[in-house]
Structure 1
């Protein structure tokens, strides 16, 4: 619970930006065209992802050399600083070009922290459970991410109802960042008092896990990147991008966009927890992951077709919830399949790096790419083709990867 709380707080701080991208775009990247403003805002969202591999390499290596707990404590401190910077940053109208520079700086700090946090926290949970309880333990990491998405979407939904549009655009979007900043010291305190995991680092500052990883596990790293590509793109398009997509592209009310993100986050959380239990009861990770990937790939095109062609909020929310439920059900088994490819002495570095690279190359750029595709084609449905292509990459990876069960 202590690990999940800290992880959820960091993911909330990092991803809440995407829920309010349209308002951040207006405040820091003003243009005459709302699509161009949104492009700049989601482009800055992607900047945070490009810092993630660096954070994954450095903090993941630190976790393998010194310990998981110390790396997680450092990451939550860095995340709090980046979130505070975004929360308090003056707008473009107040300080000019310095405003977007500060926002980019805050996103870089957030990305660096998230890169080390997710891989290290997931590794910590996996190593804290027995072979037959790994799914349950890792499931809490996904639950924490889902709950953080629920809280972020709920903040947007409540604020969009409680505030006038002008007030939401002027200062309301800052409220979730302020909440994340104020809660961070609690997470930091809890992390400082966690025990180290049984396999948590060799406590040898002279080891070079990066060199060991590159020498012996290059192919496994490529397979791990492929496994998570489709899932990360689905998450960032179908959950985090939905408020901006539905309001700016499909022209539905802001409340519908936040309600869709909220419903999707709830579905993901519930089915991730269920999926963790099921993963512990399956003899093979691939036996669970393979059919789930096939269903996800088949579902994304009709799902986005429905979303772009109906004005009924219930239909939009239900459709997106089905897609994210499929995602949540398979995500824990996928993470276990990835982590079990690597031995304990390089596991935090390997998993952090591959997960961060997949999120950077595909997840962090997803919102920008689909927005650019829509701007070029004039067709909101064109976003579906990118999601489907990334799902096919993951499906190919799971068909090719060789399953292992390392301690």
Structure 2
């Protein structure tokens, strides 16, 4: 029989002590921002990387190879979710977070110092692929452990607020990645950027990485996991999730689909879209992504708080409906008025919609899975959805534009995934209501 959505942990009493979680939340948030910075910076330099590591007969093929490599890293995310998520449920959230940032630093170093195709030939793109796979593996375990860590340090009535810092710090990562990219593109010539400028962006994350590693080594394990550890951690959290919570897992994957597709198309792919399709200068396109990240960073905790007050399902349903309805008009506005001002206004609204649709999700997913398997459940549901609907989104929409000749094609991809999420939220809401969980 399937496990209840909010099972009482065997032999574990609820933690009733009043907490001041800010120290741990901030420490986890800084490391989380560094992880996602390293992930994002590759996407922002996709065009440069395409020229240096994936030369081809025409620019479109070269760019497809580059963004395809971005997607390849997402194949490793489910594996990272399985291994590092399970590790978080067996050894602790802190242990998993520390390991994930170490792996990310290795992958980033490989890209930062990789010889180009003109220097070592086919070995060059192979190095990039291996590095991206390491980064994907690391990020696969980051969401589950970081979200569980934030939620389990928080007061039960404010889980939406504290879990939303997972998305707020992703916004901070976007601000850093886009800001550094804009600065480099403004101050350097195209030749300087291709020669060494892009490496500076990767080295920034590499230099700051040890700071995040040190901070994570100093934080305390969560009170809830300490209680589990005192009894006995789940020996096979993966098996537990797949056997007892498989329907919840499938629905959770669907819940994340629309928001993550919107996120990757409108935030990560937009600098490339603005440069290649709208012919907006690189500096301005990076600034637009910076605006998106800034709005996301500020407003994600607001929507997390709203989910605490009005319910995760109500807030998320409205947000996903808006995502589905606005994607086409946003791309239409960009193609009709392809100016920097239009791009900045569109991306500000995008940041707000990402915060509204993703902000309540970490706490919602945390509510589905019990403490004993929360790290695994969170990691699997989020990363399988991101892999399926987000990681290959730049490749898919680049292909859609090339095949149809329509600059509006990406909006149809977003609308389709939004419908999947709305259906998943509806089914999950009914399921939880039947069990008295909401």
Report TM bin, short chain. Answer: over 0.9
- 1:30 has 2:58 as partner: no
- 1:87 has 2:112 as partner: yes
> CA offset at residue 36 of structure 1?
1.1
Q: Which moved more, 1:299-308 or 1:130-139?
A: 130-139
Cross-structure match for 1:196: 221
- 1:318 has 2:342 as partner: no
Cross-structure match for 2:275: 247
Choose which of 94, 105, 129 in structure 2 pairs with 1:69.
Answer: 94
Query: Equivalents in 1 of 2:279, 2:342: separation in Å?
Result: 15
Number of residues of Structure 1 aligned to a counterpart in Structure 2: 406
Choose which of 188, 209, 213 in structure 2 pairs with 1:184.
Answer: 209
- 1:211 has 2:211 as partner: no
Query: Equivalents in 1 of 2:285, 2:201: separation in Å?
Result: 17
Cross-structure match for 1:127: 152
Indicate if the aligned counterparts of 1:272 and 1:330 stay in contact, CA closer than 8 A.
no
> CA offset at residue 311 of structure 1?
2.4
- 1:346 has 2:385 as partner: no
Q: Which moved more, 1:316-325 or 1:210-219?
A: 316-325
Q: How has the CA–CA distance of structure 1 residues 206 and 214 changed in structure 2, closer, same or farther, with 3 Å as cutoff? A: closer
Indicate if the aligned counterparts of 1:286 and 1:398 stay in contact, CA closer than 8 A.
yes
Structure 1 segments of 4+ aligned residues over 6 angstroms from their partners: none
- The normalised TM-score by structure 2 is 0.90
Deviations 1:236-263 (A, max 9, x none): 1111111111112222211221121111
Give unmatched runs, 5+ long, in structure 2.
1-25
- 1:257 has 2:282 as partner: no
Cross-structure match for 2:264: 236
Q: How has the CA–CA distance of structure 1 residues 206 and 288 changed in structure 2, closer, same or farther, with 3 Å as cutoff? A: closer
Query: Equivalents in 2 of 1:251, 1:32: separation in Å?
Result: 21
Cross-structure match for 1:363: 390
Query: Equivalents in 2 of 1:88, 1:3: separation in Å?
Result: 28
> CA offset at residue 309 of structure 1?
2.2
Cross-structure match for 2:22: none
- 1:222 has 2:250 as partner: yes
**What's the C-alpha RMSD, in Å, of the aligned pairs?**
1.6
> CA offset at residue 185 of structure 1?
1.0
Q: Which moved more, 1:270-279 or 1:92-101?
A: 270-279
Indicate if the aligned counterparts of 2:117 and 2:125 stay in contact, CA closer than 8 A.
yes
Indicate if the aligned counterparts of 2:323 and 2:353 stay in contact, CA closer than 8 A.
yes
Cross-structure match for 1:279: 307
> CA offset at residue 343 of structure 1?
0.9
Give unmatched runs, 5+ long, in structure 1.
none
Find the residue that maps to 1:380 and give its secondary structure: coil
Indicate if the aligned counterparts of 1:25 and 1:41 stay in contact, CA closer than 8 A.
yes
Choose which of 321, 327, 333 in structure 2 pairs with 1:294.
Answer: 321
Choose which of 348, 353, 356 in structure 2 pairs with 1:329.
Answer: 356
Indicate if the aligned counterparts of 1:82 and 1:107 stay in contact, CA closer than 8 A.
yes
Query: Equivalents in 1 of 2:399, 2:97: separation in Å?
Result: 35
Cross-structure match for 2:410: 383
Query: Equivalents in 1 of 2:63, 2:278: separation in Å?
Result: 14
Indicate if the aligned counterparts of 1:301 and 1:384 stay in contact, CA closer than 8 A.
yes
Query: Equivalents in 1 of 2:178, 2:399: separation in Å?
Result: 24
Indicate if the aligned counterparts of 1:27 and 1:170 stay in contact, CA closer than 8 A.
no
Deviations 1:171-208 (A, max 9, x none): 21111110111111111111111100112274457711
Query: Equivalents in 1 of 2:248, 2:338: separation in Å?
Result: 44
Q: Which moved more, 1:309-318 or 1:349-358?
A: 309-318
Query: Equivalents in 2 of 1:137, 1:205: separation in Å?
Result: 24
> CA offset at residue 127 of structure 1?
0.8
> CA offset at residue 277 of structure 1?
2.2
Cross-structure match for 2:401: 374
Query: Equivalents in 1 of 2:127, 2:362: separation in Å?
Result: 34
Deviations 1:251-282 (A, max 9, x none): 22112211211111112112212112222222
- 1:109 has 2:134 as partner: yes
- The normalised TM-score by structure 1 is 0.97
